[in-house]
A and B are shown apart, each in its own frame.
Chain A
Amino acid sequence: QQQVKQSPQSLIVQKGGISIINCAYENTAFDYFPWYQQFPGKGPALLIAIRPDVSEKKEGRFTISFNKSAKQFSLHIMDSQPGDSATYFCAALTSNTGKLIFGQGTTLQVKP
């Protein structure tokens, strides 16, 4: 019940295309859903986050879509750029435990 399932494992997108990464969860107590971006040799960096009281959040080219009833959320990267090539992790947390649970990650490659 603590798992966060992420797909796909890897993704190749052409420059200018849309990258979509999906996550699903079971624990309805999760109340914070961040996405992290990780470059090789670096730690994960917070990209964008959403709380379950909203269905969408947009920051620049990055958008989170959240479907509470389906217990799913996704990251959309518009106009994908080669610099976006990285590993992306979804995550979920319950405030009363403080434990941030990560998905398995998606390796994104944006081809020029």
Chain B
Amino acid sequence: DAGVIQSPRHEVTEMGQEVTLRCKPISGHDYLFWYRQTMMRGLELLIYFNNNVPIDDSGMPEDRFSAKMPNASFSTLKIQPSEPRDSAVYFCASSLSVNYGYTFGSGTRLTVV
């Protein structure tokens, strides 16, 4: 099992550009989570999906953020337009069930200049 796969590992973009982060969860995991990690705010849950359906997006900071899960093996987190304050490490995680251990990917380090 390759674990949760995220791409790209690093992304540097200019303010105002669109950024798309990608995630492939572990096969068979029904839950997928997007987290953001910063020094100031720690690990924040942005949105999570169950069986490809968004369940709770209350953590999405602004309308500039959107997430999709078109099928069980792929999810995207898009920021449009990006701003310097969006700079953070974005993690995707998946889980068999809601109160089971989450497996995190290695993250995407986003820098918006």
What is the interface of chain A, defined by CB distance below 8 A to chain B? 31-32, 34, 36, 41-46, 49, 89, 93, 95, 97-105
Residues of chain B with a CB closer than 8 A to A100's CB: 33, 45, 102
Name the contact of A43 in the complex, choosing from B48, B56, B93 (C-beta under 8 A).
B93
Main secondary structure of the interface of B (DSSP, over half): strand
In the complex, the answer to whether B102 meets A46 with C-beta atoms within 8 Å is yes
B103 within 8 A of A: yes
Task: Kindly list chain A residues whose C-beta atoms are within 8 Å of the C-beta of B93.
Answer: 43
Contact B50 A98 (CB under 8 A): yes
Smallest Cβ distance from B46 to chain A, in angstroms? 11
Query: For chain B residues 22-41, which have a beta carbon within 8 Å of chain A?
Result: 31, 33
Interface on B for A, CB 8 Å cutoff?
Answer: 4, 31, 33, 42-43, 45, 48, 50, 55-56, 91, 93, 98-99, 101-107
Residue numbers in B under 8 Å from A103 (CB-CB): 42
B43 partner, pick from A42, A44, A45, beta carbons under 8 A: A44
Q: Which one, A44, A101, A105, contacts B45 given CB within 8 A?
A: A101
Which residue of B4, B42, B43, B98 contacts A98 across the interface (Cβ within 8 Å)?
B98
Q: Which residue of B lies closest to A46 (CB)?
A: B101
Selected contact of B42 from candidates A34, A93, A105, CB within 8 Å: A105
Contact A46 B98 (CB under 8 A): no
Question: Do the beta carbons of B99 and A44 come within 8 Å of each other?
Answer: no
Known: A100-B45, A105-B42. A32 touches B99 (CB 8 A): yes
- Is B43 a contact of A89 with CB atoms below 8 Å? yes
Q: Which residue of chain A lies nearest to B48 when distances are taken between CB atoms in the complex?
A: A98
- Are B103 and A46 touching (Cβ within 8 A)? yes
Instruction: Give the docked Cα–Cα distance between A101 and B102 (Å).
Output: 12
Q: Which residues of A contact B56 (CB under 8 A)?
A: 97-99
What are 17 sample pairs from A and B whose C-beta atoms fall under 8 A apart? A34-B101, A34-B102, A41-B106, A43-B4, A45-B104, A49-B101, A89-B43, A93-B99, A98-B50, A99-B48, A99-B56, A100-B33, A100-B45, A100-B102, A101-B45, A102-B43, A104-B42
